[in-house]
Amino acid sequence: MDKSQVIKRFLPANTPTPDDQAEAFAASNIALCKYWGKRDRELNLPINPSLSVSLADLGTRTRLTPIEGKKDKIRLNGKVVNGSSSFATKIVEFLDLFRSSKAARLQVDTHNSIPTAAGLASSASGFAALTKAINQLYGFDLDPAIQSAFARMGSGSASRSIFDGFVEWQMGVREDGMDSHAVPFEESWPEFRIGLLTLTEAEKTVGSRSGMQRTLETAHLYQSWPLQACADLEKLKQAIRDRNFEILGQTAEQNALSMHATMIASWPPLLYWQPESVATMQRIWQLRESGVCVYFTMDAGPNIKVLFEAGQQAVIEQTFPQVKVVSPFACQTPVASG
């Protein structure tokens, strides 16, 4: 089944006249239980469910404006993007899924507030913001779960960026994938912190899309991954409900390392770690030995995301002076009356 067949079933037969402009923001997200491996590559349907936490105001803001002409115009952080670049091609292909050929071309202005060197994928917040903006521009008025399923077709992790806070991406079983979308996990944890550590700006040579495919095809170890992920998802949800940071941290760290174990067991081997990554892991383990409740997670790159609670922020900032600390639930902290 291809993407456009699936999407068309949820859109009006004739694309409505677009508004003058639409603008939407989506936060980036960090998975505590990772998505790694697809059962359908066309629709980005995952082999396992996943769970993430969103990065507050770090994400993507995208504005769509109908324009005259034969081609879309795309700008990233204020700069015109070459129409034949892979970035522009992916956006245009995604827009094509939603508009009829008669529809006007669009100017796409997209801004990432994610520090560019932080090694955070902008595709998650990028496709989520684009999906939200498309929904607004054409007045589709789609349910957020459907927007999540659509964003997933741009990039799997984008399904989770439709929502804020803790978010679960349910893997679903349907062939058309419409039950494979994210749902908010309605719990708030105001003391929860994520420290973004940019350890190296070295370009990664294998992206997550081809990395997960290689793992699936070549690593026997991968067979154990769905079991690990399903068990971790339940543990994480319970730890969040109980506000048990130790269990949450342990589970997220073990989940990330298990994913990396499957990558390393692939052929050719996929090792995203740099010497700085390993040194940072060891520093975190030392801190833990000394009684600091701190854990980490890592994605398909060398950088580390440190997980801790507000009470440990001073020691984390002292240990890692370059850390950028994000408070995913800060805006929900009650304001002290005074």
Q: Can you give the binding site for ligand DP6, defined by CB under 6 A?
A: 31, 34-35, 44, 50, 121, 123, 155-157, 208-209, 299-300
Token pair 């003391």: residue: 191
Distance CA 235, CA 317 (A): 28
Looking at residue 104, what DSSP letter applies? P
Choose between 18 and 211: whose C-beta lies nearer to ligand DP6: 211
Nearby residues of 151 by Cβ (< 8 Å), 6 or more positions away:
127, 128, 130, 131, 158, 159, 161, 162
Choose between 230 and 315: whose C-beta lies nearer to ligand DP6: 230
Least distance in Å: CB of 149 to ligand DP6? 13
Residue nearest to ligand DP6 (CB): 156
Least distance in Å: CB of 156 to ligand DP6? 3
Nearby residues of 143 by Cβ (< 8 Å), 6 or more positions away:
none
Choose between 44 and 258: whose C-beta lies nearer to ligand DP6: 44
37, burial (CB in 10 Å: exposed 0-12, middle 13-18, buried 19+) = buried
Choose between 61 and 204: whose C-beta lies nearer to ligand DP6: 204
Distance CA 296, CA 303 (A): 10
Nearby residues of 51 by Cβ (< 8 Å), 6 or more positions away:
31, 32, 33, 166, 167, 168, 169, 185, 233, 236, 237
Inter-residue contact 319 to 216 (CB < 8 Å): no
Choose between 208 and 312: whose C-beta lies nearer to ligand DP6: 208
Least distance in Å: CB of 185 to ligand DP6? 15
Least distance in Å: CB of 30 to ligand DP6? 7
Choose between 136 and 255: whose C-beta lies nearer to ligand DP6: 255
What Å distances lie between residue 273 and 30, 55, 270, 303, 320, CA to CA? 18, 23, 9, 8, 18
Choose between 43 and 76: whose C-beta lies nearer to ligand DP6: 43
Least distance in Å: CB of 123 to ligand DP6? 5
Least distance in Å: CB of 95 to ligand DP6? 17
Least distance in Å: CB of 229 to ligand DP6? 10
